[in-house]
Structure 1
Amino acid sequence: METRVRSLVKALIWNIIGLGSMALVGFLATGSIAVGGVIALINTAIGFTLYLLYERIWSRIGWGRDHV
């Protein structure tokens, strides 16, 4: 089972990557750095929360794991 700290670090790193890509997409779509940044921040906050919950749920599911 993963620790909560590991799940948190994974979620943070993944969302930093997502923040950068979403800021770029938002900027390209709107032409505004400010609007692109707001879109990216909102998306990152939602994505971070959902990803962390998703990881924690899957950490409790034994299906598909090797039990060595």
Structure 2
Amino acid sequence: MKRSVAKTISWRIVGTLDTVIISYLITGTLALAVSIGGVELVTKMLLYFFHERTWNNIKWGK
């Protein structure tokens, strides 16, 4: 469980920085880019956590 949480957080940091950079390049507005990144941070962290936990319960490939 702790490993899943740590992986979720570290991956979201990388992913959110990517989203903020891309959003800034598209919009040219740092405040908007950070807002988009903030929303994305929360939603994708939750999605990834539950995705990871689901895959931990699947025996295939272990």
Is 1:28 the counterpart of 2:28? The answer is no
Partner of 1:16: 13
Select 1:39's aligned residue among 36, 39, 48: 36
What's the C-alpha RMSD, in Å, of the aligned pairs?
Answer: 0.6
Q: TM-score normalised to the size of structure 1?
A: 0.88
State the number of aligned residues: 62
The structural deviation recorded for 1:44 is 1.3
- Distance in 1 between residues matched to 2:23 and 2:35, nearest whole Å: 8
Amino acid at match of 1:51: Y
Q: TM-score normalised to the size of structure 2?
A: 0.96
Instruction: Flag the structure with higher helix content.
Output: 2
Partner of 1:62: 59
Amino acid at match of 2:22: V
The runs of at least 4 aligned residues of structure 1 exceeding 2 Å deviation read none
Identity across matched positions, percent = 31
Q: Which runs of 5+ in 1 are unaligned?
A: none
